[in-house]
Amino acid sequence: MKYLTLPSYLCVVTVFCLLVACKSTSLKIGNFDVGKLVNQGVKVFNASNIDEAQEIQFGENMSAVLLGARPLYENKEINVYVNKVGMWLASNSSRPDLSWQFGVINSTAINAFAAPGGFVFITSGMLMQLENEAQLAAVLAHEISHITEQHHLNAIKEEANRSAITESLFISAQAYQDNTSANDEDKNYGIWAKKVTGMAQNLYAKGLGRDDELQADQLGIRLLAKSGYDAFAYIDNLQVLASIDADDSALALLYQTHPAPSQRLAALAEQLDKLAMNQGLLLTKRFISQMN
């Protein structure tokens, strides 16, 4: 059995409290209204049958968990720039009509995250490792590919099937609290908040499967090239990650949730000949001007 350490337990409790607090307040961070995000999660979520509206709803809930743990980077210009790059990539993806949103999380960790329905986040620590717009686009393209292929939703469905997390559990939990003094809305919200906090925290902590990560690499590098960027920037990013000390705490979660950079590079080897014909752009000067 895997037990929560004190720090991770406190993180779960903190995020849960933030979600409950956001129910009655308007908490806004940058362009993201966290209060609005979590308020839309009151409805019972049935993981066995997910349509696009539910996908977006769950993505909003998962985004609230991320933003509850780490706030957005308070630099409007950089967030706008990242959104422009992300929106261009998304317009060339297989799901251009999603309501895509991109943001920079204020964290020294070197990582990026995706949530169902079109939510993508890159850490400020990851941004500091990049040298041009093509490298930024490569990071975002990987996360976009997770969303277009619904990797997180599929992982949630599998977990729901294993744990028997179905609508009946929510109803049973509701019935259990019927004798408490809380009103029905608060009972229902509390049940939802506990479930979404636990599921999202667990998914981001353990990561997606190896096959999902490698598929996101394959699709991400193609999306990068299709969008007019130098596809070798994707390779550059992985080489940069490989050059950083594996014991560096900034990479701890990335290594915990992704295959090693060397394995990812090896899996992309077959595409290198095709990519050699790509004459895409790096856009170094534009990137530097936006970062300064």
Across the beta sheet with 119-123, the strand order is: 101-105, 119-123, 112-115
Q: Enter the pTM of the model.
A: 0.75
Give Cβ neighbours of residue 178 (< 8 Å, ≥ 6 apart): 187
Is beta strand 28-29 parallel, antiparallel or unpaired with respect to 32-33?
antiparallel
Per residue in 70-110, pLDDT (tens digit) is 889 999 999 999 999 999 999 999 999 999 999 999 999 98
Residue 221 phi, psi (nearest 5)? -70, -30
**One-letter amino acid of 161:** N
pLDDT on residue 226? 95
Better-predicted residue by pLDDT, 283 or 4: 283
- Burial class of residue 226, CB neighbours in 10 A (0-12, 13-18, 19+): middle
Length of the chain: 292
pLDDT on residue 185? 52
* Residue 277, SS3 per DSSP: coil
Q: Which two tokens stand for residue 131?
A: 């040298």
Better-predicted residue by pLDDT, 189 or 250: 250
